[in-house]
Each structure stands twice: as C-alpha cells, then as structure tokens.
Amino acid sequence: MLLGNGQYLYAHCSTHLWWLTRKAPFGKASLIDANLQVDFQRHTTPKDIVTVVATQPLTYDEQWNIMDPGELRILENGDFLDV
C-alpha cells in the first residue's frame, strides 16, 4: 500500500514491495520489460533524491531492496525517514 498526504509517502508491505533510491551522481538504468535505457542524469539535478517503490523491480542493472511483509517505511522529500 502506498498512501500520501502531500508531505509524506507511507509504504506498507503486505506481500511484495521493492524500493531503490537514486542520488547524484545519477546514471543510466535499463528497464526489465522493454528494450529501453534511461539516462537519469539528463532528467535530474545534483540535489535531487528519488525513491521508487514498486511491486517488483523495474530495472535489471540497479540494486533493488525488498521490504519485509508488515514493514512500514515513510518517505519525505524523496528519501526514507529514520523512525
């Protein structure tokens, strides 16, 4: 489950959630389900922090992290809070 209130994004894993955080220096990533590579450096600034949460990894050349069932993570400004 993903729930946002405009300031925070709450990610609760019941069965399958994966995440990765991208920070500068940004690189390229290749999609799993399409013959497409995205150069994130062209679409970001050095100050950007981007976290992607999905039910399965979306790229094959980045390190995705799996959440445990029952785990709750909170994001603010693109990165996880330590709670």
Q: What is the pLDDT of residue 76?
A: 97
Distance CA 81, CA 32 (A): 28
**Can you give the pTM of this predicted structure?**
0.88
Cα 30 to Cα 16, 23, 27, 82: the distances in Å are: 21, 17, 10, 30
Q: What is the pLDDT of residue 9?
A: 97
Q: What is the pLDDT of residue 4?
A: 97
Q: What is the pLDDT of residue 20?
A: 97
Q: What is the pLDDT of residue 82?
A: 86
**Residue that the structure tokens 């979306």 belong to:** 58
Q: pLDDT means per 10 residues in the chain (83 residues)?
A: 96 96 95 95 94 97 97 96 85
Q: Which of 17, 35, 37, 36 is nearest to 26 (CA)?
A: 37
